Structure 1
């Protein structure tokens, strides 16, 4: 039976009160339906109705399901067909545990690639199964998103680090105490409502995808993946073929996902330039702009719009175009009508917040916030191992490896938090919010040239950070562009060691964008003095840490 053509323009008007044009196509495929999977088996059974007004895309074109849940799109060879999950629904899972919301189309063999590329498959429309999401008291508080940047294992050993350092502690921290001496239990989805990995899923070895996916999906959270520069098929001869293996495992490199609190757009922003230097640059393709120009007008503006990419939108240094400026300005122009936008990026293996303005092509009413998320692998799984055999892997700016959380409330307001993978026991100077560095002993009466430093992991340019000694009055600390003293000490110990202290040395310390300094007085009484630091986090409120130093009489 041939299905009637659905007018995307009319449905978009009904949905969001705006018009969107879709390019007409000559060829179509019949039979694609988005349906309510009431028994959760992934197949459309008798009595399971279609779902109207759901958007389906191939990364360029967009179709909207009719009253029976039917959609029509031309089978475009080489593209990935995907459903844009609407609010109030959840997808079924693929065999690997990832959301079953996509299908690749490959009718002719592509280039021969080391890691397999995209296998040949039928050019058919498929049915997409969605389940009605069950409301929970936790979800009524808002949408909880777990964000990993750069897991980047280079071996099965690194995947074991990732599992034990990131995934298992996350399960433990979100497990429920069952009472009655049964202990704590983890159930699927307790860690969050959605998960996103911001690229560099592996470190060039794409054969590690299945093992890493198994670790991630053990959380039971619907998980989406962005492509990174270490996820490329480096034997591809052109950018168009450089993510074939990634797409075979993770689906479309342009994707969208909708919740009632936020809309998520995930974009591959790595432009591969084989044979050139540099071999890649940040930017977007024409087909991605075509998708955005069709999709964004359909997105409600009463919620947060989140763009998730790998390469940051800001330049890594003066005079260095990390992300193509023309593409950035074109993208920012598309985002300007939205009152609430958050950019999430990875890649740098450091952590910072950037406020975009006119200098970077943003002309909105308020600065555009980009959160450049610290790496799950930290400094590439380097550094000295702890008692559990896991490397310290602190990043070059002094941020410990870990993951982030994004919490979004209805109306688009959001909070962010950073969660270090490990915090040493009985160390009051190292908390989830900051790490303090201070000398252990100073000479009484010495010139006050020494200081306590606070590396506030989520600190921003305007963060308020204060300290006090022995319960005295609070004093402001001064933000400094300097290397974290704790990591400098690790660098010195690596230099002095006769053999490697770990698989790799700790990274060379670089100037941290979130380091504060407070001078330690030396005119107090002899003996021990307590130093308290408090930082006022924009989202998490007041955060504290403490340390101690001793004043001794000078030795002649």
Structure 2
């Protein structure tokens, strides 16, 4: 029988119920060698493992013991050490946290947190099965956001099942992240979403989004009770050999305000971050994963500036920081600098990941019955992957849903008049492009010419918008979003002084991580009389 359990029994026997509940604030972190979830003879306690209540962090002693002055209602969790893995629960998620709820809870539509029996907290860790050397493969999902069981089915067939098939029975990745809006307000869909995601056989972490809130909660403090019941703490850390990850709830619920939420961080989160970062080597790869982007949208404050500046001050000593966010249902990169309150030695990279649901599972359905779902910037829906090397470097890629390997798409007219004014262009939507990306085109194998960054809406999506406008009836359950200005669209003028006939247009772009990528299309020149 474990020492911590004996201590708790003695305390419970001699104290009044409330005092006993407060006294059982300790436990052991141990290596579960046989994976049965129990601490058997010969299974050692693990020293130096971090345990937290979401504010304070303590490390286990030489025997794996820890203690914290926990309140009667609390959540306690273990920061996964790179040397070990967590067991998997019945819901397919890693078991690294416990809730204790003794006080009456507010009645929330989707259940909130439920009262649970007081207990001591022992945590099992498994010996790491994957080798420490090499790279870490991470899948990143932004905004799956199903609003119904029908949308959950789209998520399963469009995103999850093709990845499972490609993995051929192996885990899909070393780690997975969902960057919020796990569902679209209907929190009863959580169990189905967890079931499908668990089929990826990958340790999966979830950040909270603005559509994961208990909107009937009285304020921000209880607005994630249902999310926390299903997914655990809303702010925590996780370590692998190649990188340290911090998952943050950055949605501040403000009921009654003109906008019911804003991006920001709570005081307890800053306390936790300061404690965790204090023990982290300054040259270690650090990844912060959240829902709302840390940058502001043009013309309005969408993330509280004071919170961003305070966060960036904590991050400033670290030389290898990557921010991963979602929320916008577009694909873009942001390089933070002094205008954002970042004063590090180099710009701070934020990858604002596109949405798994794309344009909210909208548009015309294909032969499989799955809607088009492209985003407002023209990017097809899908998911991202991140590869972290042992030296802290990383590579990012966007994957089009259902195994599509396209890195860009082109839009050009099918026919132009020979000799007409050359005012019509070919457009290249390069999904991972940035303002400084090199994008070029050529006609019929000629010399490569630079394309210019357009900033216009994606014309292929605009075409779909116009078809919806002209249609006498609905073309899909919901229309695709209106085409918005795109940060990764390039244009090149099509020559009309060539011979009548077909002409091949090739486009090449130079991806920051993958090198040269290509696509091609064609147009035809015809003669015509006035």
**TM-score normalized by structure 1?**
0.90
RMSD: 1.5
Q: Cα distance, 1:423 vs. partner? A: 7.0
- Deviations along 1:356-375, one digit per CA (max 9) or x if unpaired, are 00000000000000000000
Query: Counterpart of 2:456 in 1: which secondary structure?
Result: strand
Q: Cα distance, 1:62 vs. partner? A: 0.8
Paired with 1:465 and 1:252, the residues of 2 have a C-alpha distance of 43
Q: Cα distance, 1:316 vs. partner? A: 1.3
Which residue of 269, 273, 283 corresponds with 2:264?
283
Which residue of 37, 40, 44 corresponds with 2:32?
37
Which residue of 378, 381, 405 corresponds with 1:398?
378
Paired position in structure 2 for 1:100: 95
Which residue of 488, 491, 509 corresponds with 1:535?
509
Aligned length: 513
Which residue of 153, 159, 173 corresponds with 1:160?
153
1:199-214 pair list within 5 angstroms: 199-214=180-195
Which residue of 126, 141, 145 corresponds with 1:148?
141
Paired with 2:73 and 2:522, the residues of 1 have a C-alpha distance of 61
Paired with 1:2 and 1:419, the residues of 2 have a C-alpha distance of 48
- Deviations along 1:92-126, one digit per CA (max 9) or x if unpaired, are 01110100000112110111100000001134331
Paired position in structure 2 for 1:113: 108
Identify the range of structure 1 (124-133 vs 288-297) with the bigger mean alpha-carbon deviation: 124-133
Which residue of 121, 126, 129 corresponds with 1:134?
129
Paired position in structure 2 for 1:222: 203
Conserved in 1, the CA contact under 8 Å of 2:25 and 2:69? no
Distance 1:438 1:541, change over 3 A: same
Which residue of 420, 435, 443 corresponds with 2:417?
443
Conserved in 2, the CA contact under 8 Å of 1:29 and 1:73? no
Paired with 2:27 and 2:154, the residues of 1 have a C-alpha distance of 42
1:381-396 pair list within 5 angstroms: 381-396=361-376
Q: Cα distance, 1:326 vs. partner? A: 0.1
Paired with 2:23 and 2:394, the residues of 1 have a C-alpha distance of 41
Q: Is 2:351 the counterpart of 1:371? A: yes
Conserved in 2, the CA contact under 8 Å of 1:316 and 1:322? yes
| Unpaired runs of at least 5, structure 1 | 4-26, 176-185, 425-430
Distance 1:402 1:476, change over 3 A: same
Paired with 2:462 and 2:107, the residues of 1 have a C-alpha distance of 46
Identify the range of structure 1 (324-333 vs 32-41) with the bigger mean alpha-carbon deviation: 32-41
- Deviations along 1:408-452, one digit per CA (max 9) or x if unpaired, are 00121000000010477xxxxxx5210100001110011000111
| Unpaired runs of at least 5, structure 2 | 6-21
Paired with 2:4 and 2:461, the residues of 1 have a C-alpha distance of 66
Paired position in structure 2 for 1:50: 45
Distance 1:247 1:543, change over 3 A: same
**TM-score normalized by structure 2?**
0.95
1:242-321 pair list within 5 angstroms: 242-318=223-299, 320-321=300-301
Q: Cα distance, 1:501 vs. partner? A: 0.6
Identify the range of structure 1 (293-302 vs 472-481) with the bigger mean alpha-carbon deviation: 293-302
Paired position in structure 2 for 1:492: 466
Query: Counterpart of 1:151 in 2: which secondary structure?
Result: coil
Paired position in structure 1 for 2:523: 549
Paired position in structure 1 for 2:8: none
Query: Counterpart of 1:47 in 2: which secondary structure?
Result: coil
Which residue of 431, 444, 456 corresponds with 1:482?
456
Distance 1:140 1:554, change over 3 A: farther
Conserved in 2, the CA contact under 8 Å of 1:195 and 1:221? yes
Q: Cα distance, 1:301 vs. partner? A: 2.8
Q: Cα distance, 1:128 vs. partner? A: 1.0
Distance 1:514 1:33, change over 3 A: same
Q: Cα distance, 1:77 vs. partner? A: 3.8
Query: Counterpart of 1:453 in 2: which secondary structure?
Result: strand
Paired position in structure 1 for 2:71: 76
Paired position in structure 2 for 1:508: 482
Paired with 1:462 and 1:290, the residues of 2 have a C-alpha distance of 37
Paired position in structure 2 for 1:472: 446
Paired position in structure 2 for 1:526: 500
Distance 1:475 1:77, change over 3 A: farther
Distance 1:301 1:36, change over 3 A: same
Q: Cα distance, 1:129 vs. partner? A: 1.0
Conserved in 2, the CA contact under 8 Å of 1:37 and 1:131? yes
- Structure 1 outlier segments of 4+, above 6 Å: none
Which residue of 87, 98, 106 corresponds with 2:82?
87
